[in-house]
Amino acid sequence: MKPLTCELSSWTYFDIIGTDSEKFLQGQLSINAFKINQQQAGLAAVCNHKGRVVSLFYIYRIDAGFRIILPDDISQSTITHLKKYAVFFKVTIQAESALQQLFATNHLTSEDLDVNTSLIKINLTDFSIFIKDKKTFESQSGLNQPTTIQSISHQSITLQPSDSIWYWHLANQAIPWLSPDTVEAFLPHDLNLPKLDAVDFNKGCFTGQEIIARMQYKGKLKQHMHLFSCPQDLSIKPKDSIVQLEKKVAEIICRISLGTTNESQETLILALLKDRADKEQTFQLNLKNSPILELVK
Mind listing the pLDDT tens digit of every residue in the chain (297 residues)? Answer: 788 898 899 999 999 999 999 999 999 999 999 999 999 999 999 999 999 999 999 999 999 999 999 999 999 999 999 999 999 999 999 998 777 889 999 998 888 887 788 999 999 999 999 998 766 654 444 444 445 444 444 455 667 767 898 999 999 999 999 999 999 999 999 999 999 999 999 999 999 999 999 999 998 899 999 999 999 988 899 999 999 998 999 999 999 997 644 456 799 999 999 999 999 999 999 888 899 999 997
Tell me, yes or no, whether 229 and 159 share the same domain: no
Q: Give the chain's domain count.
A: 2
Distance from C-alpha of 272 to C-alpha of 54, rounded to nearest angstrom: 17
Structural domain that includes position 295: 222-297
Greatest C-alpha distance within the chain: 58
Question: Which of 121, 141, 166 is the last residue before a domain boundary?
Answer: 166
Tell me, yes or no, whether 14 and 114 share the same domain: yes
pTM for this entry = 0.91
Residue 200 lies in a domain: no
Q: Which long-range contacts (CB under 8 A, 24 or more apart) does 192-199 make?
A: 192/224, 192/225, 193/30, 193/43, 193/45, 193/53, 193/56, 196/43, 196/124, 197/31, 197/42, 197/43, 197/123, 197/124, 198/30, 198/31, 198/42, 198/43, 198/44, 198/45, 198/56, 199/30, 199/31, 199/45
Tell me, yes or no, whether 9 and 146 share the same domain: yes
* CATH, residue 89: 3.30.70.1400
Tell me, yes or no, whether 136 and 231 share the same domain: no
